[in-house]
Chains A and B, each alone.
Chain A
Amino acid sequence: MNTTHIVLIGWSHENAPIAFRDKVALNSEHIQLFLYLAEENKSIGEIGILSTCNRTEFYGLVEDPSHLINWVYDAYQDLRGLGLRHNETVPYSFQDEEAVEHLFSVSAGMKSMILGENQILAQVKDALEQIKLRENKYPVLHHLFQDAIRAGKAVRSQTALCEGAVSISLAAVELGKKIFRNFEKRKILIIGAGETAELTALHFQNTGGSHFMIANRSEHSRAELASRLNGTAHSLEELNDILPEADVVVAATGSPDYLLSMEMLKNALKVRRYSPILLIDISSPRNIDPAARKLNDIFLYDIDNLDEVVNENLIKRKNELPAAAKVIAGILEDFTHWWKSLEIFPTISDLNEYFRSVQQQELDKFKFKVNADTMDVMEKLSALIIKKLLHYPIINLRKMANGESIDIHKIRTLRDLFELDEFQNNSINKE
């Protein structure tokens, strides 16, 4: 009989400071070592490890939750030289349905530091791949992580939890998508060659942008970024000439002055026959004259405006949490049903075996008292009686497994009434 529990212990941004999270974070090599070590431990049936930059979680199939927590402490001590047992940062721990629900929520991005982020789903997939590599295959955790990926995908497709940009540079790209159908044929002018400028350019590149013009004071920096983006490099003095070509302009420099004036933009619009320009000014102080906002076909966003976009999107994502929880509840129910059904079939088999053993014991008593024909009749009669007696209990147990709600207490009572656990243990000992 299955008396094991799915147990989770872990640390994340919710319960541990970054310094601690950095210490307990595991790369794929570490995870391999931890998994090898776990295989040697008889008290751990199955194990799965999810480790990201903000989260390190151990999912185990154990009879006693303390087995997992003690093993995790020992493993960190042995493999990483970290004494966590007496550390103030205590891991969170969940069991069975709570642990499953937690993993599903994590996979959906509901527990992420940036609500609804997408990277976590790939990390859950990585954890599943690690499980698949184990010789024992870990059927329960395999099923659990598969369902977690299903939950992550379902939440992403059925709710808006992961929609809307939640970073300044992504918000800039999202705004661009409201003006232009795509960026494939659009010219993107990047003013500046720093980290922010490059990050925003990369986001545009990831969404199809391929025509980049890089304008920067430093010749070396602009040439380097231009070569990385496969674009052209320009000096700031050329801005007036190249501006009319640009459909999207991203300004991210440390310049204290306006690099794009109202006059320059007016002129650019005229040359472009008033085809719209999206201007993203993520510099501080600003590099684009804010008065340009008044121009009809100019769409100017500065860092505060983009911050508004990000905040609005975050609020929208938060509002999607109840819908996401509903999606997860459905998959949780499926998993729980499957998990509980694991206990039904062994019970059916144990019941059959128990009744057959009682039959055999009683028949043995008459072995030398009746002749062979009578014995044969008694065997057939008792087998028929057992079959009749077990008919409804087995039918009802199978019904439970085939979709009707599984009541684990009923199964437990049945096992207790017939002392099936004891019977099974005795059988194993005899063997």
Chain B
Amino acid sequence: MTDLFRALMILLPLTYGVSLVLYIVYFNVNNDKYRRQAYALVVAGVVLHLMYLALKGWYFRYFPITNTFESFSMIAISTSIIYLLLERIQKEGKTGLFFMSIAFIFQLVASMFMKDGASHNALLSNPMFGFHTISTLLGITALAISALYGLMYWMLAKEIKAHRFGTTYNNLPPLETIEDMGRTASVIGLVLLGLGILLGHFWAYRMLGYFFTIDPKIIVADLAWLSYAIGWFWVIRGNLAGLRMSRIAFWGFFVFFFSMILINLLGDTFHKFV
């Protein structure tokens, strides 16, 4: 079985890498053939990746997010899944190279340094933890992707305003499409992160006997999600669009991400499994 894991660890960055190359070609050469091939490869990569995670979880009896490199691999698959969803919904593949480069780099590093069957926290053997983690990670990835779309919008709008017609102008999709992709990513992110947080609370209730605890990481995560939700309610209710919306998506995630990093670095939290 470990031979199969090793083979998959080689195959995964290879699949993501080739799809990245195809997305780069598609970005520069407007031929839909490359987009279709790249998309098919990402689908294949995600299927292989899911197979790998399921087999590994079954074989080692834990949810495979016990170390940094397993987390990297999870980031790679989350990015690929969210991006696939967005490309399918919006039928636009010009931004594929940005997200597949993230997936490729994370998976490459993970494949290079991954060690199977490391010791792990007993809590990670609980299947509910898997659902909580997957949902949270997919949610955060979707919000990160939404922030990147915000940045892309910002960059392209700047180019159009400044009458600069470089690579960004020529190859990125229209502002409206970027905005829609970012908006869709945000909605996916909000729902999945919300679900992940909720599952986390239920899990804590079942395992530890309380639904909520005064833990800085939990408080920040809950507050961040709540602010995001309120922000989006305001955006959707006000039908807010354009640069303002892209900035909200970008800075919203920026604040959320750095507050989580700060809490992880400075705060004392029970929420540590790696």
B contact set with A: CB distance below 8 Å = 156-157, 160-161, 163, 165, 169, 173-177, 180, 238-245
Q: Is the interface of A mostly helix, strand, loop or mixed?
A: mixed
A390 to chain B, nearest CB (A): 48
Nearest neighbor of B175 in chain A, beta-carbon distance: A179
Contact, CB under 8 Å: A296 / B242: yes
Contact, CB under 8 Å: B243 / A178: no
* Neighbouring B residues of A297 by C-beta, 8 Å: 157, 241-244
In the complex, 18 of the A-B residue pairs with CB atoms within 8 angstroms, ordered by the A residue number, are: A178-B175, A179-B175, A179-B176, A180-B174, A181-B173, A181-B176, A181-B180, A272-B241, A273-B239, A273-B241, A274-B243, A274-B244, A275-B242, A276-B242, A276-B243, A296-B242, A299-B161, A309-B165
Contact, CB under 8 Å: B176 / A274: no
Is residue A312 within 8 Å, beta carbon to beta carbon, of the partner chain?
A: yes
A172 to chain B, nearest CB (A): 13
A293–B163 Cα gap in the complex (Å)? 11
Q: Is the interface of B mostly helix, strand, loop or mixed?
A: helix
A305–B238 Cα gap in the complex (Å)? 33
* Neighbouring A residues of B241 by C-beta, 8 Å: 272-276, 297
Given A179-B175, A276-B175, 17 extra CB contacts under 8 A: A178-B175, A179-B160, A180-B174, A181-B173, A181-B180, A273-B241, A274-B245, A275-B241, A275-B242, A276-B243, A296-B157, A296-B242, A297-B242, A301-B163, A305-B163, A309-B163, A309-B165
Proximity string of chain A (290-312) to chain B, C-beta cutoff 8 Å, 1 when within and 0 when not:
00010011010100010011001
* Neighbouring B residues of A301 by C-beta, 8 Å: 163
Is residue A134 within 8 Å, beta carbon to beta carbon, of the partner chain?
A: no
Residue in contact with B169 in the complex, picked from A178, A293, A296, CB distance below 8 Å:
A178
A299–B162 Cα gap in the complex (Å)? 9
Is residue A30 within 8 Å, beta carbon to beta carbon, of the partner chain?
A: no
B208 to chain A, nearest CB (A): 45
A contact set with B: CB distance below 8 Å = 175, 177-181, 272-276, 293, 296-297, 299, 301, 305, 308-309, 312
Contact, CB under 8 Å: A274 / B169: no
Q: Given A296-B243, A301-B163, A305-B163 in contact, is the A273-B174 Cβ separation under 8 Å?
A: no
A237–B3 Cα gap in the complex (Å)? 77
A274–B247 Cα gap in the complex (Å)? 13
Contact, CB under 8 Å: A308 / B163: yes
Closest 8 A/B residue pairs (Cβ): A297-B242, A275-B241, A274-B242, A181-B176, A296-B243, A273-B239, A179-B175, A276-B242
A180–B245 Cα gap in the complex (Å)? 16
Nearest neighbor of A299 in chain B, beta-carbon distance: B160
B243 to chain A, nearest CB (A): 5
A370–B169 Cα gap in the complex (Å)? 91
Max count, chain A CB within 10 A of own CB: residue among B156, B157, B165, B240:
B165
* Neighbouring A residues of B157 by C-beta, 8 Å: 276, 296-297, 299
